[in-house]
A and B are shown apart, each in its own frame.
Chain A
Amino acid sequence: MNWLEIVQAGFQASLQDEGRKGYAQHGLARGGAMDIRARRWANKLLDNPADAATVELLLGGFRAICHGRVQLAITGADAPVTINRKPVAMWQTVTLQDGDELAIGHARNHRFICIAIAGGFDGPSLFGSRSVVIREAFGETSPLAPGNRLKALAQTPELPWRQAPEQARDYLTKPPTLRIIPGYQYRSFTRQDIVRLTTQEYQVSELSDRMGYRLEGRAMTATPPGIISEGLCPGAVQIPGDGQPIVLMTDCQTIGGYPKPGVVSRLDLAALAQQLPGGKVRFELADLATVQNERRLFELYFRNSRWAGNGRTLEWI
Chain B
Amino acid sequence: MKLEHISEDALLITLASAIDDALPGQISRMIAVLRSASPAWLTDLIPSYTTLLIVYDPVQASFRDVEAFLRKQLVDAGAGLNPSRPDSNRLIELPVYYSPESGPDLEALAGYAGLDTESVIRMHSSREYRVHALGFAPGFAFMGQVDQAIACPRKASPRKQVPAGSVGIADRQTAVYPGESPGGWQLIGRCPTRLFDAVNLSLLQVGDRVSFHSISRDEFLALGGIL
B8/A229 in contact, CB under 8 A: no
Q: Does A27 contact B (CB under 8 A)?
A: yes
Q: Which of A35-43, A84-92, A188-196, A285-293 contacts B (4 or more CB under 8 A)?
A: A285-293
Q: Shortest beta-carbon distance, A52 to chain B, in Å?
A: 17
Q: Shortest beta-carbon distance, B112 to chain A, in Å?
A: 22
A288/B5 in contact, CB under 8 A: yes
Question: Which of B8, B137, B206 has the largest count of A CB atoms less than 10 A from its CB?
Answer: B8
A30/B138 in contact, CB under 8 A: no
What mask results when residues 193 to 234 of chain A are scored 1 for a CB within 8 Å of chain B, else 0? 000000000000000000000000000000000001111110
Q: Which of B58-66, B116-124, B185-193 contacts A (4 or more CB under 8 A)?
A: B58-66
Q: Does A158 contact B (CB under 8 A)?
A: no
The residue that B9 contacts in the complex, of A24, A262, A266, with Cβ under 8 A, is A266
Q: CA of A289 to CA of B58 in the docked complex: distance in angstroms?
A: 11
Q: Does B81 contact A (CB under 8 A)?
A: no
Q: Shortest beta-carbon distance, A211 to chain B, in Å?
A: 12
Question: Which of A230, A262, A289 has the largest count of B CB atoms less than 10 A from its CB?
Answer: A230
Residues of B contacting A184 in the complex (Cβ-Cβ under 8 angstroms) = 6, 12
| Chain A, range 237-263, C-beta contacts under 8 Å to B | 253-256, 262-263
Query: What does DSSP make chain A's interface, helix, strand, loop or mixed?
Result: mixed
Q: Which of A100-108, A169-177, A294-302, A305-313 contacts B (4 or more CB under 8 A)?
A: A294-302
B7/A299 in contact, CB under 8 A: no
B7/A28 in contact, CB under 8 A: no
Q: Shortest beta-carbon distance, B103 to chain A, in Å?
A: 23
Q: Does B198 contact A (CB under 8 A)?
A: yes
Q: CA of A172 to CA of B199 in the docked complex: distance in angstroms?
A: 40
Q: Shortest beta-carbon distance, A287 to chain B, in Å?
A: 10
Residues of A contacting B7 in the complex (Cβ-Cβ under 8 angstroms) = 181, 183, 233, 235-236, 263, 266
Q: Does A25 contact B (CB under 8 A)?
A: yes
B202/A27 in contact, CB under 8 A: yes
Residues of B contacting A303 in the complex (Cβ-Cβ under 8 angstroms) = 59
Residues of B contacting A161 in the complex (Cβ-Cβ under 8 angstroms) = none
Taking A25-B47, A26-B138, A26-B196 as contacts, is the C-beta distance between A233 and B55 under 8 angstroms?
yes
Residues of B contacting A22 in the complex (Cβ-Cβ under 8 angstroms) = 43-44
Nearest residue, chain B, Cβ from A127: B198
Query: What number of B residues sit within 8 Å (CB to CB) of A?
Result: 43
Residues of A contacting B206 in the complex (Cβ-Cβ under 8 angstroms) = 25
Q: Does B133 contact A (CB under 8 A)?
A: yes
B63/A288 in contact, CB under 8 A: yes
Q: CA of A295 to CA of B57 in the docked complex: distance in angstroms?
A: 11
Residues of A contacting B142 in the complex (Cβ-Cβ under 8 angstroms) = 229
Q: Does B25 contact A (CB under 8 A)?
A: no
A21/B44 in contact, CB under 8 A: yes
Nearest residue, chain B, Cβ from A293: B62
Taking A136-B138, A255-B133, A288-B5 as contacts, is the C-beta distance between A231 and B49 under 8 angstroms?
no
Q: Does A265 contact B (CB under 8 A)?
A: yes
B12/A27 in contact, CB under 8 A: no
Residues of B contacting A232 in the complex (Cβ-Cβ under 8 angstroms) = 46, 53
Residues of B contacting A228 in the complex (Cβ-Cβ under 8 angstroms) = 18-19, 48-51
B8/A291 in contact, CB under 8 A: yes
Residues of A contacting B51 in the complex (Cβ-Cβ under 8 angstroms) = 228, 230-231
Q: Does A159 contact B (CB under 8 A)?
A: no
B8/A295 in contact, CB under 8 A: yes
Q: Does B80 contact A (CB under 8 A)?
A: no
Q: Shortest beta-carbon distance, A286 to chain B, in Å?
A: 10
Taking A184-B6, A231-B46, A231-B48 as contacts, is the C-beta distance between A27 and B136 under 8 angstroms?
yes
Q: Shortest beta-carbon distance, B178 to chain A, in Å?
A: 8
Q: Shortest beta-carbon distance, B11 to chain A, in Å?
A: 10
Binding site for B on A (CB under 8 A): 21-28, 30, 126-127, 136, 138-139, 181, 183-184, 228-233, 235-236, 253-256, 262-263, 265-266, 288-289, 291-292, 295-296, 299-300, 303
Going nearest first, the 3 A-B pairs with the smallest beta carbon separation are A231-B53, A231-B46, A183-B6
Binding site for A on B (CB under 8 A): 4-10, 12, 14, 18-19, 31, 43-53, 55, 58-59, 62-63, 133-140, 142, 196, 198, 201-202, 205-206
Query: What are 5 sample pairs from A and B whose C-beta atoms fall under 8 A apart?
Result: A25-B47, A26-B196, A26-B202, A27-B138, A266-B9
